[in-house]
A and B are shown apart, each in its own frame.
Chain A
Amino acid sequence: MAKRLSDLRPVYVIGIGWHRYQSLSDKPYVELGLKAIRDALSDASIEWSEVESSYVATARLGMAVGRPMLRHLGAHGRPLIHIENASASGSAAFRQACIEVGAGISDVVLAVGLDKPSAPVQRASAGVRGLADGAIVPFTSFALLTNEYARHNHIAPEDIALVAVKNHRNGATNVNAQRQQVRTLEEVLSGRPVSGTLTALQCTPVGEGAAAVIVASEDAIRRLGVDPSRVVRVAASAAASERGGSARADKELTQEVVAAVLDEANLSPTDLDIIELHDAFTIEELHYAEATGVCPEGQFIPRLKEGEFDIGGRCAISTSGGLIAFGHPIGPTGIGQVGELTLQLRGEAGVRQHKGAKVGLAHMVGVGAVCYGHILVRP
């Protein structure tokens, strides 16, 4: 019978770090990654020599980019592996890192995500030509998925844009966010149309960055003298991919994965204090929030207007600014979500703190489609 992460020995996030997400610069990817990793090591108060294995998440940098970076921390000969799962690369790397610690193969594992949009995304032909091949990039793919949702639920463009107002406001106080500016509704609506009725400020920007998370076992926490009051437990992890003949893959996948992690953690949607989800477009936040069960279908907008999803509301969504304001460099994104949840659950989020946060959900989808969910809890 298959096991879940929670059947293995407990896994904890002990250190987090970032290189700010930003538009393409001249900085080599190595510099972005090293900053995030060193900050995570320092946050955990451990040495690089204690890290037993590394998962390097990247979708755009090309082959074998990990060691040229990791060697600068000290080339100790530990195993490393690269993880790619489109937008969900970072989430996938985090899951695998947790499984390695949970299974007892390692006590301390690094999950680092890094990317630079220096070259167009490449993919070999799958040998089956659809009618719109080449015309639909992942971006447009999500626009198609969410167009149907918006129409079906009669959501007005001005109301969807309120999600961007919230997320830009949250991102404005996140020093690692690509977009750190408060935006009015008028500013959001008046921008350049990018896809359908969605304007530029309602869509995730293109950018580079890095995020690192270190996970460890209880043994390692004790042995290395890690401060136990600052660790956060990974209570659940689930992953899935699109089924054949599925017309509503995005919603079904999210429902399935979120139901699985809530079940594993023995929680219900109303127990969630904070959610980081795949808000590449504003409409996606509505779509996935309803799919998680955090509010009934069709109720997101009225509750958003009442402040229910603000920092300080009943369930804070996208406290980091989300993909819209924090950004989506791809490799780092899922890992950066875990970092944000950790910050919040520790009570160290400063101005962005959602008070009393005890349970957080990280959700990502990726072209494929694939979907990941993780639940983090304050022990």
Chain B
Amino acid sequence: MTTKTFVLEQEVSRPSLPLVGGKCSCGYVFFPMQTFGCEMCGRNGNELTPITLSGRGRVVSKAVVHIHADPKRPPPFAVAVVELEEGPQIRALLADPPSESAEPGDVVIARLFPSNHNESNSRLDVGFARDAPKEVTNG
């Protein structure tokens, strides 16, 4: 199974990749899950419990990176601040090439995507793409 087929199957069978966030007993919801401590109240350990987030959110801001040192992620690529529907604002990658990727204001969903579009064995990362029905062009 090639990488490309796997990604298309993700899109059709499950609309959004759930994300594992956390919830503090004070009520604060955050991502990613950690037990070091709540940044609102400082409670730690088992006062912080995992919570499944839908992976759905809205793009707050976006920046296209043109210069980057990591050969496994060649520029240009886009990064964003996404506000998840449960509240947390997180920094994340945008799944599509910069010219097609989501813009501020767009509703987005989390999905897997190749970190290097030019490599067939590329690692898969989690990123956000527009939550609009996409045409399945092949496969």
Interface set of A (CB-CB < 8 Å, partner B): 120, 127-132, 134-137, 140, 143-145, 147-148, 151, 192-196, 244-245, 247
Contact = CB atoms under 8 A, between A and B. Distances in A.
A15 to B, nearest CB: 38
A128 B32 contact: yes
A263 to B, nearest CB: 27
Interface size class of B (residues with CB under 8 A): 20 to 34
Contacts, number: 80
B129 interface: no
B36 interface: yes
5 contacts: A127-B34, A130-B90, A135-B93, A151-B61, A245-B28
Chain A facing B: main interface SS: loop
B89 A247 contact: yes
Contacts of A192: 66
B61 A148 contact: yes
Closest 7 CB pairs of A and B: A244-B39, A148-B61, A143-B63, A131-B92, A147-B61, A132-B91, A244-B40
Contact of B104 (A120, A127, A128, A147): A147
B91 to A, nearest CB: 4
A131 B126 contact: yes
A134 B70 contact: yes
B31 to A, nearest CB: 8
Contacts of A140: 63, 65, 79
Contact of B39 (A131, A145, A245, A247): A245
B68 interface: yes
Contact of A136 (B34, B64, B91): B91
Nearest to B33: A128
Contacts of B77: 135
B127 to A, nearest CB: 7
Contacts of B91: 130-132, 136, 144
Contacts of B93: 131-132, 135
Contact of A128 (B34, B40, B70, B89): B34
Contacts of B81: 144, 148
B49 to A, nearest CB: 16
Contacts of B32: 128-131
Nearest to A149: B61
B4 interface: no
Given A129-B32, A132-B91, A148-B61, 11 more contacts: A128-B32, A130-B91, A132-B79, A134-B70, A134-B73, A135-B79, A144-B63, A144-B79, A144-B81, A145-B61, A244-B40
Contacts of A134: 70, 73
B1 interface: no
Contact of B40 (A120, A245, A247): A245
Contacts of B38: 244
B85 to A, nearest CB: 15
Given A147-B104, A245-B39, A135 B63 contact: no
A132 B92 contact: yes
A244 B70 CA distance: 30
Contacts of B60: 148, 247
A195 B126 CA distance: 22
B62 interface: yes
A132 B110 CA distance: 13
Nearest to B92: A131
B98 to A, nearest CB: 10
B66 A194 contact: yes
A246 B80 CA distance: 16
